Amino acid sequence: MCLRVIQPLPDAYEAAIEQLVEVSTGIYTELQSEPLSCCASRYSCLEQMPFRNRPQTPRRKESSKGKRPIATTESRPATPENLSEIVQEHPEEAPPGWAEAQDKIADSLGLSVLLVDGRQPPALVVSNNNSICHAFQSSPEYVGLCDPYCGDAHRRAMSAGAAVQYKCHAGLQCFTMPVEIGREQNLAVIGGRAFVSGADYRSLVDRFRAGELNDLLSSGPFTNVIFSEPQRLEQLAERLDKAARTVAAGVQIPTSNFQSLVSTGSGPGSPAGQPGRRGGSDRVAPAAETPSDLQSEVDRLRGELEYRSHLAESLQRFLERISSTEPDKAYLAILTHSKDLLKAERASLMVFDEGTNEISLRAAVGLATKEEGVGRTRLGEGISGRVLESGQPLVVENLETAGLTPAPPERNYKTKSFISYPITMRGRKIGVLNVTDKTAGGTFDDVDLSLLEIIGPQIAVALDRAEWQERATQFQLMSITDPLTGLLNRRYLEERLTEELNRSSRYNYSMSCLMIDIDDFKNYNDRNGHQAGDVALKITAHCLKATLRSADVACRYGGEEFCILLPQTTQSEAGVIAERMRQRVTETDYPYDKSQPLGTVSISIGISTFGKHIDTAEKVIAAADRALYNAKSQGKNRIDFYVDNLTGSFVAK
């Protein structure tokens, strides 16, 4: 087996990740109704928080002559009555020209950038902030979690005198480094704030699902989630260093020349691997780019933008449709959109059964053989079973060179490359997604696996919901279904009969009801045993269902009695259906049917029809039951009707 280590996302996918917003927000919407703490506990958290991080009202201090005005605050302790968001930035305090340059660099690379002159928040300038960071750092209750990381970033940068990388409590990869902008030597930048692996993202998602971060949901933590790879963070550090030197030189940065400012590359004073090192007496401006170089870069960016747009659209469609409340639709949507996203022709979904410790095929798209022909597999057996047991995804470029056994020829696979991806949630095994036959005969690689890593948490949640919905549906059906015959039970009949009567009364529809009893069933049971009696009940139920229309409702009323609702059916039409049932039963072979008094198993039927004096559920059932009694007293194996007369009494017909 050839297990691939999951690689970080290529930069072409970063923009598409922003489309995770809608489904990520939807996953946790139901959590918002579960309060995490009361105001008193929030106030307690505030009291233990550094004073500078409590909600404050910013106030400008008058500056001394010749000095840039500095930000200060005149604050009062935060209490439950005056809770507010923490101020995040003071852009008016930034060096002239820097805010615009920082915004453009952050937008071009799709990463977050902050300029700080001490502990933050607040920063001087915040660009393209990760919504997760904004949610944490604007919350008086949660900002303390960020203090050892971004809160202390300025001190760490100034102490090291160079770029320092770190991963925060949320799993976001960041760096901080000192920058010199003109005479300002006490400045540092914080850059990145991006997930560089799907595992870090899933870990944070699990914290929300567990309720640990419930109170942050109202802050929109998933409106601008940023993904990246480590190399892009290095590029960001280089571009920020270059921008600092450009702004420090007093050069205005027109939009037409902005590409040269944000282009990749390090000056001699910023060697590779150590972006942004201070003390640049040996720094020189980078060589000017030629028009052909600029045009090539423009063409490359245009192509990348078109690809990102297409990918974002694919992800958007995927995320919008996988969370169906109907299990079958959810399974099909997951497969269809996963297949399209990875540009594959086939996909299958295996679901794990904890009770039997087996996985079985739940849905498939493009499968050459019938789904019924794919058997169940025990955990740890076969490719899917081993992948789910290990929890590690498997990417295979060529199954023969990987030492794997090819699938049977009748499967008609076009290529030898596939991905088998385990779907888990907080350590619980859910299933396996298999994707094969890359379009145009290509092979799957780590790029495809990275995409699955992005959508993996959403697939897991959608599958989990579909499974619960399916179980709920099964439990609901069990509660209204007779376990022996498979017909609906008396409980359902009583609810449905009231609905049909209301509909008939409102729209002046006809409605009929049949009460059916197996003739001499006690004799059949006593002579042949209860097991034979159960078989006779099953056969009779099958005969009744076989003669009904799709809108008709067949129920087991109790013992050997059955009840049939016939919506929008007149008395004469009900008689035709009843006669068809009677004939079907008498013509059907039953075990021991010759032992019956009539020489065959038969039924008697009583019919009532909705009318002026038969207008409640109780009256409908009572009328049909009295008609049934009359049919049995008249010799059995026959049909009788009841209609209401002008006085409201019941008369046999």
pLDDT at 454: 77
List beta partners, residue 567: 511
Structure tokens at 526: 């006593």
**What CATH number is given to the structural domain containing 601?**
3.30.70.270
Provide, rounded to the nearest whole percent, the portion of the chain with pLDDT above 90. Answer: 36
Confidence of residue 315 (pLDDT cuts 50, 70, 90): low
Give yes or no: residues 334 and 400 share one domain: yes
Residue 281 in domain? no
What distance in Å separates the CA atoms of residue 6 and residue 395, rounded to the nearest whole number? 10
Give yes or no: residues 456 and 517 share one domain: no
- Cis before 286 (ω within 30): no
- Number of structural domains, the chain? 3
Domain interval for residue 390: 322-478
Listed range (110-119, 203-212, 480-489, 560-569) with the worst mean pLDDT: 203-212
Residue 453 in domain? yes
Residue 4 in domain? no
Q: Strand, helix or coil at 62?
A: coil
More confident: 557 or 63: 557
- CA distances in angstroms from 536 to 443, 560, 594, listed in the order given: 58, 9, 13
Residue 288 in domain? no
Confidence of residue 39 (pLDDT cuts 50, 70, 90): very low
The predicted-structure confidence for 373-384, as pLDDT tens digits, reads as follows 677 888 988 899
Q: Which of 231, 249, 272 is the last residue of a domain?
A: 272
Asked whether 629 and 608 are in contact (CB, 8 A), the reply is no
List beta partners, residue 346: 436
Cβ contacts of 552 within 8 Å, gap of 6 or more: 564, 565, 566, 567, 569, 577
Give yes or no: residues 447 and 535 share one domain: no
List beta partners, residue 424: 429
Confidence of residue 477 (pLDDT cuts 50, 70, 90): confident
Which residues are known to be catalytic? 560
Which residue in 544, 555, 548 sits closest to 490, CA to CA? 555
pLDDT at 220: 78
Residue 524 in domain? yes
Q: Which of 251, 272, 293 is the last residue of a domain?
A: 272
Strands 603-609 and 639-644, bridge-based pairing? parallel
Q: Which of 272, 296, 314 is the last residue of a domain?
A: 272
The predicted-structure confidence for 514-567, as pLDDT tens digits, reads as follows 999 999 999 999 999 999 999 999 999 999 999 999 889 999 999 999 999 999
DSSP per-residue codes, 74-140: ------TTS--PPP-B-GGGSPTTHHHHHHHHHHHHT-EEEEESSSSSSBSEEES--HHHHHHHT-T
pLDDT at 78: 39
Confidence of residue 274 (pLDDT cuts 50, 70, 90): very low
Q: 0.75 cut: is pTM over it? A: no
Dihedral angle at the C-alpha atoms of 583, 587, 592, 595, nearest 10 degrees? 60
Q: Kindly report the number of other CB atoms within 10 A of residue 644's CB atom.
A: 19
Residue 284 in domain? no
99 pLDDT more than 80? yes
Structure tokens at 51: 């004073």
Strands 173-181 and 511-518, bridge-based pairing? unpaired
Residue 66 in domain? no
Instruction: Kindly state the DSSP code that residue 195 receives in the 8-state scheme.
Output: B
**What CATH number is given to the structural domain containing 327?**
3.30.450.40
The predicted-structure confidence for 564-606, as pLDDT tens digits, reads as follows 999 999 999 999 999 999 999 999 999 999 989 999 999 999 9
Give yes or no: residues 259 and 115 share one domain: yes
Residue 457 in domain? yes
pLDDT at 33: 36
What distance in Å separates the CA atoms of residue 460 and residue 352, rounded to the nearest whole number? 12
Give yes or no: residues 504 and 360 share one domain: no
Give yes or no: residues 360 and 507 share one domain: no
pLDDT at 229: 82
Give yes or no: residues 444 and 474 share one domain: yes
pLDDT at 439: 85
261 pLDDT more than 90? no
- CA distances in angstroms from 140 to 86, 109, 313, 587, listed in the order given: 7, 30, 36, 79
Confidence of residue 136 (pLDDT cuts 50, 70, 90): very high
Give yes or no: residues 330 and 255 share one domain: no
Give yes or no: residues 340 and 253 share one domain: no
DSSP per-residue codes, 532-550: HHHHHHHHHHHHHHHTS-T
Give yes or no: residues 26 and 130 share one domain: yes
Q: Kindly report the number of other CB atoms within 10 A of residue 260's CB atom.
A: 16
639 pLDDT more than 90? yes
Q: What is the mean pLDDT of the chain?
A: 76
Give yes or no: residues 497 and 443 share one domain: no
More confident: 442 or 294: 442
Give yes or no: residues 341 and 398 share one domain: yes
More confident: 247 or 36: 247
Asked whether 88 and 58 are in contact (CB, 8 A), the reply is no
pLDDT at 448: 85
